[in-house]
Structure 1
């Protein structure tokens, strides 16, 4: 009789404690990004965006962001899209000298899949078509719902892959966004958005 009771109790405890049968979800990963404009601390969500977070962390862990920089800013007055305006700073490996540090493109994780909307301070991947994201990323300022799945910013409607957020250093993000951005560019769509003095990303490390 005691054996039966113990077995029943073990079964109940197994139902009450999911960790007894399944591994816990990955915890958020803290990352520190040091730039020549200041320090930005981030929290990444591998539980919600496993492919995108793992890609970014591989760039971090393998030192592939050496030579990276913030080079583009979008704000009121520089955005030519009046129907779906955004406010972001964009960075990554944007020089030909560092192209060899880029990894293969990753599958696209939409905000509908991850549940991470493009609210203030969210970090997300830049891309062309879905499934083309590599090293380039951006950080949002304010609510940018047009960047979510179904948003109007991109004609394909798939939005962008958000995978974390800023936990400290939004003052640095705002300062970068406010920097002069009239550097010459052959691309008409980004005129007025290219920083005259790109902000160097000195290091990106796990905290």
Structure 2
């Protein structure tokens, strides 16, 4: 009996050694994290001008009220036949500034004013190509807008001022925007702060069309 037990023990030693030297099975790799869902394509509007098209992507997610208001003017054809009528540089003849266009306060083209969506809430900013609503006091914006050339974050909202409401960005045609900014202005046209900023020959917005 002891001999048999010894034989079993001797036979088990190689098996034990093999078990100790055998590689451990690899740990299973963690499953890859699911890809984030693609962000919906932002609606785009093309402003056709005699100098070429300007394409604007509307940030309907971050500035829903303001973007929807702009799109309402587009679908109602309220921008067709209006113009870019203002050009501003800081100082004049530098790339930094803006151009302004739209219905120019014409009552027959106007929809009711919209609530102000401050950049402090939307997270948007007046950087190069930003499109923002013109207004007098907050809550009076209707159908006039401006496009930024350069970076004018002084127009953003802060603790001391409500700023202006950015609602989109130019994605094609900034060369057209800069060409409009460089157009001659009238030294006498305009009132108050806008005197000397009115284009001598406004640049027509022939059509405004939702293109995507």
* TM-score tier (shorter): 0.7 to 0.9
1:35 Cα deviation from its structure 2 partner: 0.8
Counterparts of residues 13-162 of structure 1 (less than 5 Å): 27-78=41-92, 87-94=97-104, 98-150=106-158, 157-162=161-166
Change beyond 3 A, Cα 1:58–1:40: same
1:99 Cα deviation from its structure 2 partner: 2.6
Instruction: Return the TM-score normalized by structure 2.
Output: 0.76
Please point out which of 149, 153, 167 is paired with 1:163: 167
Structure whose CA Rg is larger: 2
Deviations 1:60-109 (A, max 9, x none): 01111122110001103359xxxxxx6110001127xx431100000000
Whole-angstrom distance in 2 between the partners of 1:161 and 1:148: 8
Change beyond 3 A, Cα 1:52–1:176: same
Gaps of 5+ in 2: 1-33
1:164 Cα deviation from its structure 2 partner: 0.5
8 Å CA contact 1:78–1:192 kept in 2: the answer is no
Query: Over the residues paired in the alignment, what is the CA RMSD in angstroms?
Result: 2.3
Instruction: Return the TM-score normalized by structure 1.
Output: 0.78
1:45 Cα deviation from its structure 2 partner: 0.8
In structure 2, the residue corresponding to 1:176 is in which secondary structure? helix
Change beyond 3 A, Cα 1:162–1:186: closer
